[in-house]
Structure 1
Amino acid sequence: MLIKVLLVVSSVALSSCDVSHLEPEIITEPPPPKPYAFSYTAGRYPGHTDRQHAEVSDGSGVVRGTYSYVDPRQKVRTVDYVADRDGFHPVLSDVPPEHPADSASVAKAKDRHFELYAKIAEEHAHHPFPDETTVPRQSAAVAAAAAKHTQLFRVIAEQHARIAAEREALQREEEEKQHLQELGQ
């Protein structure tokens, strides 16, 4: 009996002992950062860009990037940043992005546009109420296209009326069949 008590006491004592100091401590270092780069642009609807982001990591834990967005006052905000062991370091830039310069052909086209605009504005300033000679008339091509459109509209309207009549007739037939079935029961 004494042996049994000693065995129980010793097993309880051994099970409550902390033996973690006997095992070697395994320290797992995190893997080194991997270099990467990404960028994207996005907008609220197709063909519209209102934000962009680009970021590059050199693999040593230093991340450099920039992002831009349109603020509620419709002003483009750009933030350049560096993130390293010491933290996140943003720099807000209020400088609006530069618009590309016009090419020679674009500049020439703009000049021609403004010349024509000024000429038309001058003519309209002297003749505020156009007479019959300056009122635009329908050309033969426009008149032919309008007539073709009117004819196609009539054909489509007739087809829709025919389809509606066919559907109405089918619905009446279906209702009559259902009514006859109800009477037959």
Structure 2
Amino acid sequence: MKQSIILVAICALGVSQADVSHLHLGTTPEPHAPANPYVFSYQAGRAPGHVDRQHTEVSDGSGVIRGAFSYVDPKNEVRTVQYVADEHGFHPQLSHQLEDSAAVKAAKRKHLDAYNRIAQEHANHTPGQVAIAHAPRGSAAVIHATQKHLSAFERIAAEHAAIGAQQEAQRLALAAQSEHSEYENGQYHP
């Protein structure tokens, strides 16, 4: 805990004194100076005296960064990733081969089978042809929900139509009353 607080304090101090000279708002950008070389490394752990992750990174100032980080995975095995970051992107190299679980392998197989079946159906489909035979069919629950939705939609549409008709009748009555009162007071001006 104490190490975390010290690391956060050092990071906050570094951010507060960060070089922002490259930010030029509303001015012509200046050519970029070459990057400064740097090296950093840290180790951390969840228990005192126990390191379960580490990171090291080196830049020679040419724009190429090389580094490595390690961690302990849930199976209590150390995993290391070495990387190079350059103008073409981030290029990791794993120290271990990832292997799918049985469930993931089965899901991939099922997905591939479905993909191939659908691709075959689409390959046999001629343009302009309606594929009614392959249209999805709703379950009883979907059909019930659809009917319930349509019923509610029709009820609400009828209520809105009635409210609209009532408001239009009120508007016409008000207009007629206003026109009638103008005739009575002799104030009608066409």
Shared fold, TM over 0.5: no
Of structures 1 and 2, the larger Rg is shown by 1
TM-score, normalised by the number of residues in structure 2: 0.36
TM-score, normalised by the number of residues in structure 1: 0.36
